[in-house]
C-alpha cells in the first residue's frame, strides 16, 4: 500500500457507529480503518449483523459515524449537515439496491433523470444524459417502459443507469443480485466489471461468495470489525456468462 501513488478515494479511520436502542447500546461498527482506491472493485462480505450494511450506509452518506473519521476524496464528510450530505450523495455516490427501488409510475427515462432533477440540471441536458446512461446499460430500446413492463434484470439496469448518471465517484451496490436469477446475476456482474474497467469504483455488499468472486478485493466483516482484507484475481463475469450459455 505504501508504494501506491494513487490517492485513496475513501479513507476511514477508527470508524464507530453505535445505536442507542432504548436501554441497549448496539455497536454496529467498532473501529474500522481502511482505504479504498479510485478504480477498484471491492466486495464487502459478512453475515447479517456483522456491520457491513452500516459500513455501506456510512460510506453512502446515508448515515453518519458516531466516532472516527470518513474522508471521501479528501473531504471529511462524517460531520456534514443534512443538506450537504444530500449534495454529496447526489454528486459522489451512486446507489444500487437489491429491490431496485424504481419509481413505479415513472418510465425508465424518468427514473434515470431523478438524480439530475435534484442536481438542478436543465431538462434538455437531463434527457440527453439519461438516454446516454440507458444506452450504456443496454436499454436504448426500453427507455419509455415503466418498471412493471421490464424484467428484474432490466429494472436493475435502469437502477444502475440512474446510479451512473451524475458521474459519481463510486457505485455502492447493496446485494445487487439478491432478487435476480443466476443468469441475470452474471449479466449484472458483467456490467459492473465492464463499468469498473472504464474506471468506475465499485463497492458491492454481498453475503454470496459467488458474487464476491468477481471483485478484485474482498473485505470481510464480523461483529463490527474487519476480520480479513484480501486481494484476489477476479473471475471474469462475461466469460462465466458464455460458459453458462454453452451449458444450457
Partner 1 sequence: MSFLDAILSSLSAIRAHALRSVLTMLGIVIGVAAVIAMVAVGNGARERVNAQIQSLGANLIIVIPGNITQGGARLGTGNASTLTDADAQALKTEIPAVQAAAPLVRGGVQVVSGGQNWATSAIGVDLDYFVARDWAVERGREFSEEETRRGGQVALIGQTVLRELFGGNDPVGAQIRVRNVPFEVIGVMSPKGQSMFGQDQDDVILLPLQTARQRVVGTNRAKNRSVNQIMVKIREGEDLSAAEEEMRRLLRQRHRIQDGRDDDFSLRNMAEIQATREESARTMAMLLLSVAAVSLVVGGIGIMNIMLVSVTERTKEIGLRMAVGARPLDVMGQFLIEATTIALIGGIIGIAAGMGIAIITAMKAGWPLLIDPLVVVTAFVFSGLVGIVSGFYPAFRAARLDPVEALRAA
**Which residue's CB is nearer to partner 1, number 111 or number 206?**
111
Query: Interface with partner 1 by CB under 8 A: which range of 36-44, 93-101, 130-138, 198-206?
Result: 93-101
Binding-site member from 57, 154, 196, 201 for partner 1 (CB under 8 A): 57
Closest Cα to residue 59, out of 204, 189, 217?
A: 204
For position 89 contacting partner 1 by CB under 8 A, the verdict is: yes
Name the strands in the sheet holding 24-37, side by side, starting at the edge strand that comes first in the sequence.
24-37, 8-21, 67-72, 75-76
Residue 97 binds partner 1, judged by CB under 8 A: yes
Alpha carbons 110 and 181: distance in angstroms, whole number: 26
Distance, CA of 157 to CA of 188 (rounded, Å): 7
Closer residue to partner 1 (CB): 73 or 235? 73
Residues 158 and 68: their CA atoms lie apart, in Å, by 35
What is the distance in angstroms between the CA of the first residue and the CA of the last residue of the chain? Answer: 43
Q: From CA 82, how far away is CA 88, in angstroms rounded?
A: 10
Structure letter (DSSP) for residue 180: S
Q: Which stretch binds partner 1 (CB under 8 A): 7-15, 42-50, 57-65, 145-153?
A: 57-65
Region binding partner 1 by CB under 8 A among candidate stretches 55-63, 137-145, 179-187, 206-214: 55-63
Whose Cβ is closer to partner 1: residue 166's or residue 193's? 166
Site for partner 1 in 5-44 (CB under 8 A): none
Comparison of 22 and 82: residue with beta carbon closer to partner 1: 82
Among 22, 74, 82, 199, binds partner 1 (CB under 8 A): 82
Which residue in the set 18, 27, 119, 132 belongs to the binding site for partner 1 (CB under 8 A)? Answer: 119
Residue 88, CA distances (Å) to 16, 59, 85, 167, 173 in order: 20, 11, 5, 12, 17
Footprint of partner 1 on this chain (CB under 8 A)? Answer: 57, 60, 62-63, 82-83, 86-87, 89-91, 95, 97, 101, 103, 105-106, 114-115, 117-120, 162, 166
Amino acid at each position: 500500500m505504501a508504494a501506491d501513488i494513487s490517492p485513496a478515494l475513501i479513507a476511514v479511520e477508527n470508524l464507530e457507529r453505535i445505536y442507542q436502542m432504548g436501554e441497549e447500546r448496539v455497536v454496529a461498527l467498532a473501529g474500522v480503518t481502511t482505504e479504498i482506491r479510485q478504480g477498484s472493485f471491492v466486495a464487502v462480505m459478512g453475515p447479517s449483523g456483522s456491520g457491513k450494511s452500516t459500513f455501506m450506509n456510512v460510506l453512502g452518506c446515508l448515515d453518519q459515524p458516531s466516532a472516527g473519521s470518513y474522508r471521501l476524496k479528501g473531504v471529511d464528510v462524517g460531520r456534514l449537515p443534512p443538506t450537504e450530505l444530500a449534495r454529496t450523495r447526489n454528486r459522489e455516490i451512486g446507489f444500487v439496491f437489491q429491490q431496485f427501488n424504481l419509481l413505479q409510475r415513472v418510465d425508465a427515462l424518468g427514473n434515470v433523470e431523478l438524480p439530475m432533477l435534484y442536481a438542478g440540471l436543465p431538462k434538455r441536458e437531463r434527457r440527453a444524459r439519461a438516454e446516454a446512461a440507458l444506452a450504456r446499460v443496454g436499454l436504448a430500446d426500453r427507455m419509455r417502459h415503466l418498471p412493471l413492463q421490464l424484467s428484474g434484470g432490466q429494472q436493475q439496469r435502469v437502477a444502475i443507469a440512474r446510479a451512473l448518471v451524475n458521474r459519481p465517484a463510486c457505485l455502492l451496490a447493496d446485494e445487487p443480485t439478491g432478487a435476480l436469477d443466476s443468469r441475470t446475476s452474471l449479466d449484472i456482474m458483467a456490467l459492473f466489471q465492464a463499468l469498473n474497467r472504464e474506471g468506475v469504483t465499485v463497492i458491492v455488499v454481498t453475503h454470496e461468495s459467488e458474487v464476491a468472486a468477481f471483485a478484485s478485493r474482498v473485505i470481510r466483516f464480523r461483529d463490527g470489525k474487519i476480520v480479513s482484507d484480501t486481494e484476489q484475481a477476479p473471475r471474469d463475469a462475461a466469460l462465466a456468462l458464455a460458459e453458462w450459455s454453452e451449458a444450457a
